[in-house]
A and B are shown apart, each in its own frame.
Chain A
Amino acid sequence: METRTASGMDKNTRRLSAICYTGTSLAVVALFVVLAQIIGGYPRAAVIGGAVWSFILSMIVTMPLSTSYFKKRRMS
């Protein structure tokens, strides 16, 4: 029997969704770090700060999109 949360998502769907938005956000961070390395000359603190800020913003953008996508897919 599947366990459903109040918002109508089972654990599997939530896990899939979390993997998706975390993965996308980490990909953005990776892109940032790679670009910083390619261009070069950035202080380490700036790169770390930039990576953290990119991760936060990416999570904010991808989390609702991914949650809603998987929720809809689950319901259909």
Chain B
Amino acid sequence: MGQNESKVTLRIGGMSCASCVAHIETALTDLKGVSKARVNLAAQKAQVEFDPAQTDLSRISQAIQDVGYEVAPDELTFKVLGMRSAHCEGVVRQGLENLPGVVKVEANGNTGTATIWYHATTVSPGEIKQTIRDLGYDVAEKLQAQDALDREREARQREIRRQGLWMLVCWPLALVIMLGTFRDYWKLSVFVPEFLADNFVLFLLTTPIVFGPGWQFFINSWRGLKHGVADMNLLYATGIGAAYLIGVINTLWPEAGFGGAKAVFFESAALLTAFIILGKWLEALTRGRTSDAIRRLMALQPKIARVIRDGKEIEVAADEVLENDLVLVRPGESIPVDGVIMEGYSAVDESMLTGESMPVEKKTGDQVIGGTMNKTGAFRFRATKVGKETALAQIIRLVEEAQASKAPIQKLADMVAGHFILAVHALALTVFFFWFFVGYGNFFDPQSRFLLTPYTLGEIGVFGFSLLLSITVLVISCPCAVGMATPSAMMAGTGKAAEHGVLFKGADAIEATAKLDAVVFDKTGTLTRGEPSVTDVIPQAATFNGPVAEAVNEVLRLAAIAEKNSEHPLGEAIVRGAEERGVEVPDADWFESIPGHGVEAEWKGQKITLGNRKLMKERSVPFEALLAHAEALENDGKTAMFVAANGELAGVIAVADTLKDYSIEAVEQLHRLGLEVLMITGDNRRTADAIARRVKIDRVLAEVLPQDKAEKIKTLQAEGRRVAMVGDGVNDAPALAQANVGIAIGSGTDVAKETGHVILIKEDLRDVVVAMEAAKATMRKVKQNLFWAFGYNVASIPIGAGLFYPFFKLVVSPELAALLMAVSSVSVTLNTLLLKRFAPKVKREKAIPEKTPSLEPSFAGHGIRRR
């Protein structure tokens, strides 16, 4: 996206197929100033990147409406205090309409209310309220807030109710029509009254179906045709319309020459409508379920917050909390916005955002995330991020954008489905020509039947027969399933991954992640904690006579006393290590830092020396007894320091960067998935190899300067590898951007600022594995869906066109074609819903508290290192 470009996500109404996607995309990209437009059928959304200097939201909305679709903005109604006259109405209306993202404002001075239609991705309710206040009015309360989620659900339920109602109308009538049509077969004449087989009765029964439930297809296709758009409705309308029209002609004018009274096709028109409506009803029923995850995330947004303003505790809408507000949270309440705890202590359930099963302990100074649930204690926190900046809002935006984006694999499906309708009509014309001029004369047999019915084609005539096959091709070819195959799986996959704390920035990220064959981990801060800690303490046996633990603590205490006032990271690690072991660390009487060598201090007449070999030599401390241990530690990539008291060797302390929890498990799991695991670091080869051995890294890229990391990734890609880079989203940004998939880890609350295609909310390396598994599961589902959808069309079109008629004398009736079409769409959606069962193989039961002791169980005593 260019620097001056804006991006907006719009909800679109009225899309029914992949050809609609192509039409809207074309209309938008034709618009001057629009650089990119991506439309997602399953999400019913369009993502548009545009130059605000050349176009605006109203023109974009108009372009969508021009091709026959609706733009569905969010809606809010406020009570505006002080707005009483027509002048005030005008002020509020104009003031709000100038706000980017506001589509329309209806202000009513009599009722003192204002209804605002706006795009939530551009402007927030909080900004709207603030604008009203800036105009000199007050917003007393939110009378009605219909957010996008409610509107989408309502619209879907309305569609389910509407199609359900039409089913109640058309199915009983269609069944009666079918019984009447087939009265002469089997023993039906015993049960079915004779008058039902009369063509006029069938005509009277079919007419309400065509002009009731079926009328929507004619209206929609006419609306599309007016704008030069052919969509799925046109297929239905031509199919139903042609069958009905032939029925009417052959009923009213049986001698007209269109097959006569025996070829009325009323049951085709009726059952065709019934099956299409059944398919639409099932689709509406199942479609919403693929977006359950985003719905759950949106439902987390708290409605109210208790803040302290002017010393008073007041309740405000969560979207009105301001930065730096002091917010109160009681046990069992949701945390309204992001912030830092100022007072209090509690356990917070963050599972809804991070997938972490254990509640996380929170105390003063810790961060809390809006939308998470406070469990045990009460606390006050200072709001640091509010409105659109909160982690939850950013996560929702990212997931929505990912769901609205398009995977490369989808482009083929969209291209096929987008041009399919025209191709199908062209095919229907070809089929008609073939059967009219060639097929009927050569192959027609009056005894031939419709597939799965006893109904013979009898006196159908050349026109009726050719028309029938032509209609069947139209109905059977509907590419609904092809259009739904990829976006529905992507929606379910991105949502499911988000539930586990893995955010894919786009559908292309999922596709690329599923194809990876190598994963490169940054070392410091990713595989390791990035801060040194004491790993080994080896006391000199000759100096201490007591138990090992006491000797270890004594060596640690001596070293910590010497380093207590040091600001060197190694010194800080030693003091921290001593404190974590419960060792008391008094202040030294004096201390002196010897740069490049170590430190010397005096405490209660005892002279403590801590440092390297050179320092020991200079102070004539005999250190040879522990030299072998020191070298072994250094070979493991650790920094070894000798400790001496009054010129006598006390022991060796090793400090090193320690591995993060689950680093080893994550690498093991990646190996299980068949990926090569690499580590990239600026450290020297020896230190890097030592870490790599412990984590079982396959290949080490050591001594790489930060600015050269991206170059190394490029080299790997030149070898033909598809590489993921896992690292810190800020420091490793160039390498993350260069990799096929950049995975930014541990972003916490600032997800939107991260570079990278995949963002892991937690600092848990196992989420890299979760990302891989989620991506593979999603792509598996996409491929299955595409296989079934394309397979259906490839197999059904030749059958519908009568390719096998010369051999078997069987024809697929239009109503059977409609049933097959409905089944294919529903089967794709149902297959996608199986993704709901996705659970990462990495188990989280062993989750441990956030803070783990950095000391490893490798302390030794009496000169013997134990592990």
A interface residues with partner B (beta carbon < 8 Å): 6-8, 17, 28, 32, 35-36, 39, 42-46, 49-50, 53-54, 56-58, 60-61, 63-68, 71-72, 75
Q: Which residue of B lies closest to A31 (CB)?
A: B433
Is A46 within 8 A of B257, CB to CB? yes
Is A65 within 8 A of B258, CB to CB? no
Query: Beta-carbon contacts of B219-260 to A below 8 Å, as 1s and 0s?
Result: 000000101111000100010001000000000000011100
Q: Hey, which chain A residues are within 8 Å of B30, CB to CB?
A: 8, 71-72, 75
Is A64 within 8 A of B229, CB to CB? yes
Q: Does B67 touch A at the CB level, under 8 Å?
A: yes
Q: Which of A43, A45, A54, A68 contacts B228 (CB 8 A)?
A: A68
Q: Hey, which chain A residues are within 8 Å of B428, CB to CB?
A: 57
- What's the minimum C-beta distance from B290 to chain A, rounded to whole angstroms? 30
Q: Which of B62, B242, B470 contacts A6 (CB 8 A)?
A: B62
Q: Hey, which chain B residues are within 8 Å of A17, CB to CB?
A: 228
Is B66 within 8 A of A49, CB to CB? no
The answer to whether residues A49 and B467 also contact, given A42-B462, A43-B461, A57-B429 and a CB cut-off of 8 A, is yes
Q: Which residue of A lies closest to B463 (CB)?
A: A46
Alpha-carbon separation in the docked complex, A58 to B467 (Å): 14
- What's the minimum C-beta distance from B859 to chain A, rounded to whole angstroms? 76
Q: Does B437 touch A at the CB level, under 8 Å?
A: yes
Other than the known A49-B467, A53-B242, A54-B433, what 10 A-B pairs have Cβ atoms closer than 8 Å?
Answer: A6-B65, A8-B66, A32-B436, A45-B257, A46-B258, A49-B258, A50-B463, A56-B238, A57-B470, A63-B228
Q: Hey, which chain B residues are within 8 Å of A36, CB to CB?
A: 436-437
Query: Beta-carbon contacts of B517-551 to A below 8 Å, as 1s and 0s?
Result: 00000000000000000000000000000000000
- What's the minimum C-beta distance from A11 to chain B, rounded to whole angstroms? 15
Q: Does B466 touch A at the CB level, under 8 Å?
A: yes
Alpha-carbon separation in the docked complex, A63 to B429 (Å): 15
Is B463 within 8 A of A49, CB to CB? yes
- What's the minimum C-beta distance from B54 to chain A, rounded to whole angstroms? 14
Q: Hey, which chain B residues are within 8 Å of A72, CB to CB?
A: 30
Q: Which residue of B lies closest to A14 (CB)?
A: B228
Q: Hey, which chain A residues are within 8 Å of B229, CB to CB?
A: 64
The answer to whether residues A44 and B257 also contact, given A6-B66, A8-B30, A57-B428 and a CB cut-off of 8 A, is yes
Q: Count residues of B near A (Cβ-Cβ below 8 Å).
A: 32
Q: Which residue of A lies closest to B253 (CB)?
A: A45
Alpha-carbon separation in the docked complex, A3 to B39 (Å): 30
Q: Hey, which chain B residues are within 8 Å of A45, CB to CB?
A: 256-258, 463
Q: Hey, which chain B residues are within 8 Å of A56, CB to CB?
A: 238
B interface residues with partner A (beta carbon < 8 Å): 26, 30, 62, 65-67, 225, 227-230, 234, 238, 242, 256-258, 422, 425-426, 428-429, 432-433, 436-437, 461-463, 466-467, 470
Q: Which of B227, B422, B463 contacts A65 (CB 8 A)?
A: B422
Q: Which residue of A lies closest to B23 (CB)?
A: A64
Alpha-carbon separation in the docked complex, A2 to B227 (Å): 19
Q: Hey, which chain B residues are within 8 Å of A57, CB to CB?
A: 238, 425-426, 428-429, 432, 470
Alpha-carbon separation in the docked complex, A53 to B67 (Å): 26
Q: Which of A42, A60, A67 contacts B234 (CB 8 A)?
A: A60
Q: Hey, which chain A residues are within 8 Å of B66, CB to CB?
A: 6-8
- What's the minimum C-beta distance from A20 to chain B, rounded to whole angstroms? 12
Q: Which residue of B lies closest to A5 (CB)?
A: B66
Q: Hey, which chain A residues are within 8 Å of B257, CB to CB?
A: 43-46
Is B467 within 8 A of A54, CB to CB? no
- What's the minimum C-beta distance from B133 to chain A, rounded to whole angstroms? 37
Is A64 within 8 A of B230, CB to CB? yes
Is B258 within 8 A of A7, CB to CB? no
Alpha-carbon separation in the docked complex, A57 to B62 (Å): 30
Alpha-carbon separation in the docked complex, A32 to B461 (Å): 17
Is B429 within 8 A of A28, CB to CB? yes
Is B461 within 8 A of A46, CB to CB? yes
Q: Which of B65, B242, B429 contacts A54 (CB 8 A)?
A: B429
Q: Hey, which chain B residues are within 8 Å of A60, CB to CB?
A: 225, 230, 234, 238, 422, 425
Q: Hey, which chain B residues are within 8 Å of A49, CB to CB?
A: 258, 463, 467
Alpha-carbon separation in the docked complex, A22 to B26 (Å): 24
Alpha-carbon separation in the docked complex, A45 to B257 (Å): 5
- What's the minimum C-beta distance from A63 to chain B, rounded to whole angstroms? 6
Is B432 within 8 A of A50, CB to CB? yes
Q: Which residue of B lies closest to A21 (CB)?
A: B228
Q: Which residue of A lies closest to B428 (CB)?
A: A57
Alpha-carbon separation in the docked complex, A53 to B461 (Å): 15
Alpha-carbon separation in the docked complex, A44 to B30 (Å): 46
Q: Which residue of A lies closest to B257 (CB)?
A: A45
Alpha-carbon separation in the docked complex, A39 to B439 (Å): 13
28 cross-chain CB contacts under 8 A: A6-B65, A7-B66, A7-B227, A8-B30, A28-B429, A35-B433, A36-B437, A39-B437, A43-B463, A45-B256, A45-B257, A46-B258, A50-B432, A54-B433, A57-B238, A57-B425, A57-B426, A57-B428, A57-B432, A60-B238, A63-B228, A64-B229, A64-B230, A65-B422, A68-B228, A71-B30, A72-B30, A75-B30
Alpha-carbon separation in the docked complex, A66 to B433 (Å): 23
Q: Hey, which chain A residues are within 8 Å of B258, CB to CB?
A: 45-46, 49
Q: Hey, which chain A residues are within 8 Å of B62, CB to CB?
A: 6
Alpha-carbon separation in the docked complex, A44 to B256 (Å): 9
Alpha-carbon separation in the docked complex, A48 to B257 (Å): 10
Q: Hey, which chain B residues are within 8 Å of A54, CB to CB?
A: 429, 432-433
Q: Which 4 interchain pairs have the tightest Cβ spacing?
A: A45-B257, A67-B228, A46-B463, A57-B429
Is A68 within 8 A of B26, CB to CB? yes
- What's the minimum C-beta distance from B29 to chain A, rounded to whole angstroms? 11
Q: Hey, which chain A residues are within 8 Å of B256, CB to CB?
A: 45
The answer to whether residues A64 and B429 also contact, given A43-B461, A44-B257, A49-B463 and a CB cut-off of 8 A, is no
Q: Hey, which chain B residues are within 8 Å of A67, CB to CB?
A: 228
- What's the minimum C-beta distance from B507 to chain A, rounded to whole angstroms? 27
- What's the minimum C-beta distance from B641 to chain A, rounded to whole angstroms? 74
Alpha-carbon separation in the docked complex, A46 to B250 (Å): 12
Alpha-carbon separation in the docked complex, A57 to B425 (Å): 6
The answer to whether residues A61 and B432 also contact, given A45-B256, A46-B461 and a CB cut-off of 8 A, is no
Q: Which residue of B lies closest to A71 (CB)?
A: B30
Q: Which residue of A lies closest to B19 (CB)?
A: A64
- What's the minimum C-beta distance from B476 to chain A, rounded to whole angstroms? 16
Is A58 within 8 A of B436, CB to CB? no
